[in-house]
A = this chain, B = another copy of it.
Amino acid sequence: MPLKPAVPASAIRVCLQQKPTPSYRLTASIFQAPHNASQTRQFRLFTRPPSSSQITTTKPTSSLFPTKKSARALSGAPLPQRRSPVLNFAYRTAAVLGTGVGFVGILVLAFFAYDATTYKESVNFGECQVSEYALSPRRGGPKNLPIAEVLIDDEDTEEKRHQKSKPKLVILGSGWGSVAMLKQLNPDDYHVTVISDKNYFLFTPMLPSATVGTLEMRSLVEPIRRILSKVNGHFLRAQAEDVEFSHKLVEVSQADANGNQVRFYVPYDKLVIAVGSVTNPHGVKGLENCHFLKDINDARKIRNQVMKNLELACLPTTSDTERKRLLSFVVSGGGPTGVEFAAELFDLLNEDLTKRFPKLLRNEISVHLIQSRGHILNTYDETLSKYAEDRFARDQIEVLTNSRVKEVKPDKIIFTQRGENGESLTKELPSGFCLWSTGVSQAEVCQRIAAKLGPIQSNQHALETDTHLRLNGTPLGDVYAIGDCSTVQNNVADHIITFVRGLAFKHGKDPETLELHFSDWRDVAADVKRRFPQAVAHLKRLDKLFSQFDKDQSGTLDFGELRELLKQIDSKLTSLPATAQRANQQGVYLAKKLNKLAHAAPGLRANDIRDGDLDEACYKAFEYTHLGSLAYVGNSAVFDLGNGRSLTGGLWAVYAWRSVYFAQSVGVRTRVLMAMDWLKRGLFGRDLMSF
Contact = CB atoms under 8 A, between A and B. Distances in A.
A125 B363 contact: yes
Given A24-B31, A146-B316, A350-B120, A128 B359 contact: yes
A358 B218 contact: no
A139 to B, nearest CB: 11
Contacts of A76: 62, 64-65
A359 B669 contact: no
A638 to B, nearest CB: 16
Interface string A639-681: 0000000000001001100000000000011001100101111
A7 B9 contact: no
A29 B350 CA distance: 70
Most B C-beta atoms less than 10 A away, residue of A316, A320, A684, A689: A316
A321 B326 CA distance: 51
Contacts of A254: 312, 315, 317
Contact of A77 (B22, B62, B411, B669): B62
A684 B674 CA distance: 14
A12 interface: yes
A682 B137 contact: no
Contact of A13 (B3, B65, B681, B690): B3
A135 B363 CA distance: 14
Contacts of A125: 354, 359, 362-363
A456 interface: no
A390 interface: no
A673 B115 CA distance: 17
A15 interface: yes
A314 interface: yes
Contacts of A385: none
Nearest to A410: B258
A67 B77 CA distance: 12
Given A6-B12, A316-B137, A199 B688 contact: yes
B67 A33 contact: yes
Contacts of A15: 30-31
Interface stretch (A151-159, A435-443, A616-624): A151-159
Given A119-B351, A351-B120, A264 B316 contact: yes
Contact of A36 (B30, B61, B64, B300): B64
Most B C-beta atoms less than 10 A away, residue of A12, A29, A71, A669: A29
A476 to B, nearest CB: 29
Contacts of A80: 61
A119 B654 contact: yes
Interface in A1-41: 3-9, 12-13, 15-16, 21-33, 35-36, 38
Contacts of A23: 29-33, 36, 42
B111 A679 contact: yes
Contacts of A199: 307, 311, 688-690
14 contacts: A5-B8, A21-B33, A23-B42, A27-B27, A95-B99, A96-B102, A100-B100, A119-B654, A153-B358, A153-B360, A223-B688, A225-B357, A257-B322, A296-B691
